[in-house]
């Protein structure tokens, strides 16, 4: 090979083959490869250095803390997530831990971190290091739309916002051809129109130049290096494209009042009854005899005791005069004989 000839670019498949032999090939299509993948996954899922979605045990944040920490619970998705991450790393010729550290789950979809996309493009060997061209376009008034659910359909409203427009283009030199490759220009006006700028907590308002570079790199990777990204978007893109599709509740409209004539016909005359005095029901109390009755009861008990005593010793009954002394005044007078 002459000095003028250029070396053929190294592909990802060459990198993958150079890192593993046929005896230890990681994969899901062969019995040996699957067994090796499961062994690696079991080791990684028990590590605390991998993100939470890959761990076998995770914190149960719905339970009460014990000694300042949440109790652990089993994560059934940890091992399968590790297997998928290892398979992706094998296909990309990358380290499994690097894939796990840079692969996020956004609304159930995997997404790359923007730093990983730039690193994958720079290290693939097909292009020169990625560079960014930023241009100041001056202040402008950008227009965007908002929609609101009104009477069973969306109603769109135009809004205007004054911004400092900036443009960013990601570019690199293809080593095989020497051609300069550029991404689509990403501008602040585009961020406003797409809804990225005005989202709650958006970083486009506080660190717009960094967000411009991240988005331009993702666009470059999807156009010129889709084999590196495997069709997966960046986490920033997934977060910016989340749309709340839940319609606003329809306002409750009150029915119109009826005419006074119909209401007057259907209304019944109101009869105002006199208020009845409130009576308090008293519970019947136990009977308490008067002093005279208590004295009479005591006398009868004494007489009964005396009669029992006489019957016991065989004494005669007392005469009528003696009995009359214990009777009331009116009965004594009636019992005395006439002279």
Among 58, 117, 51, residue whose Cα is nearest residue 85 = 51
Structural domain total, the chain: 2
Task: Output the pLDDT for position 117.
Answer: 92
Q: What does the pLDDT look like over 94-105, one tens digit per residue?
A: 889 999 999 888
Q: What is the pLDDT of residues 290-319, one digit of tens each?
A: 778 888 888 888 888 888 877 777 766 665
Q: Angle at the Cα of 30 (from 24 to 32), degrees rounded to 5?
A: 40
210 plus 95 within the same structural domain = no
| Contacts of 335 by beta carbon, 8 Å cutoff, 6+ apart | 320, 324, 327
Residue 174 carries which DSSP code?
B
Asked if residue 144 lies in contact with residue 161, where contact means CB atoms within 8 angstroms, the answer is: yes
Instruction: Identify whether residues 149 and 205 lie together within a single domain.
Output: yes
The whole-number pLDDT of residue 275 equals: 59
Residue 259 buriedness (CB in 10 A; 0-12 / 13-18 / 19+):
exposed
Helix, strand counts (H, E) of the chain: 13, 8
Residues 45 and 118 in one domain: no
Please give the pLDDT value at position 334: 46
Domain of 42, in residue numbers = 7-106
Closest CA to 106 of 211, 232, 20: 232
- Give the max Cα distance, the chain: 178
23 & 70 share domain: yes
How many of the other CB atoms lie within 10 Å of CB of 109? 11
Question: What pLDDT, on a 0 to 100 scale, did the predictor assign at position 133?
Answer: 95
C-alpha pair distances (Å), 285 with each of 234, 282, 288, 295, 297: 87, 8, 9, 22, 21
| Total Cβ atoms within 10 A of residue 247 | 13
DSSP assigned state of 85 = H
Same domain, residue pair 144 and 193: yes
Using the 8-state DSSP alphabet, how is residue 35 labeled?
Answer: H
Shared domain check, 196 and 119: yes
Q: Domain check: are 186 and 239 in the same one?
A: yes
Torsion of CA 309, 311, 316, 321, to 10 degrees: 60
pLDDT in tens, the chain (339 residues): 455 555 566 666 665 555 555 556 888 888 888 899 999 999 999 998 999 989 999 888 888 888 888 888 999 989 999 999 998 888 888 889 999 999 888 877 888 999 999 999 998 889 999 999 999 998 888 888 787 887 878 888 888 888 899 999 999 999 989 999 999 999 999 998 888 888 888 889 889 999 999 999 999 999 999 888 888 888 888 877 765 444 445 555 555 554 444 444 445 455 455 555 555 555 455 566 777 888 888 888 888 888 887 777 776 666 544 444 445 554 444 445 544
Instruction: State the CB neighbour count (10 A cutoff) for residue 14.
Output: 13
Q: Are residues 59 and 18 in the same domain?
A: yes
For residue 281, tell me if it sits in a domain: no
Task: Give this prediction's pTM.
Answer: 0.59
Does residue 221 share a domain with residue 136? yes
Q: Which helix (H) or strand (E) holds 41?
A: helix 31-45
HSE of 318 in the Cβ direction (CA atoms, 13 Å)?
12
Of 224, 250, 276, the one marking the end of a domain is 250
Per the DSSP assignment, residues forming a β-bridge with 260 are: none
35 and 130 fall within a common domain: no
- Spatial separation of the C-alpha atoms in residues 25 and 29, rounded to whole Å: 10
| Same-domain pairing of 73 and 154 | no
Shared-domain flag, residues 77 and 196: no
Per residue in 131-182, pLDDT tens? 999 999 988 888 887 878 878 788 888 888 888 999 999 999 999 899 999 9
Q: How far apart are the C-alpha atoms of 293 and 270, rounded to whole Å? A: 57
DSSP 69: B
């Amino acid at each position: 090979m002459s000095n003028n000839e250029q070396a053929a670019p190294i592909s990802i498949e060459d990198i993958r083959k150079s890192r593993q032999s046929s005896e230890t090939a990681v994969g899901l299509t062969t019995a040996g490869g699957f067994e090796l993948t499961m062994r690696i996954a079991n080791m990684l899922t028990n590590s605390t250095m991998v993100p939470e979605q890959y761990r076998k045990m995770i914190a149960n944040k719905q339970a009460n803390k014990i000694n300042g920490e949440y109790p652990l619970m089993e994560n059934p998705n940890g091992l399968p997530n590790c297997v998928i991450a290892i398979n992706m790393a094998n296909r990309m010729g990358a380290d499994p831990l690097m894939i796990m550290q840079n692969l996020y789950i956004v609304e159930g979809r995997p997404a790359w971190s923007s730093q990983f996309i730039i690193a994958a493009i720079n290290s693939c060997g097909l292009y020169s290091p990625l560079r960014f061209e930023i241009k100041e376009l001056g202040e402008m008034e950008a227009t965007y739309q908002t929609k609101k659910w009104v009477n069973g359909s969306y109603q769109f409203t135009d809004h205007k916002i004054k911004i400092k427009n900036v443009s960013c283009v990601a570019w690199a030199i293809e080593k095989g051809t020497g051609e300069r490759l550029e991404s689509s220009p990403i501008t602040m006006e585009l961020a406003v129109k797409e809804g990225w700028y005005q989202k709650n907590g958006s970083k486009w308002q506080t660190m717009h130049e960094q967000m411009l570079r991240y988005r331009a790199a993702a666009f470059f990777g999807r156009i010129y290096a889709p084999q590196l990204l495997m069709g997966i978007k960046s986490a920033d893109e997934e977060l910016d494209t989340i749309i709340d599709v839940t319609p606003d509740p329809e306002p409750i409209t009150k029915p119109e009042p009826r005419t006074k004539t119909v209401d007057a016909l259907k209304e019944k005359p109101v009869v105002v009854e006199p208020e009845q005095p409130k009576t308090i029901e008293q519970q019947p109390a136990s009977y308490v005899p008067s002093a005279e009755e208590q004295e009479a009861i005591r006398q009868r008990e004494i007489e009964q005791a005396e009669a029992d005593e006489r019957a016991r010793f065989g004494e005669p009954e007392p005469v009528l005069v003696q009995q009359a002394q214990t009777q009331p005044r009116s009965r004594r007078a009636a019992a005395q004989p006439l002279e």
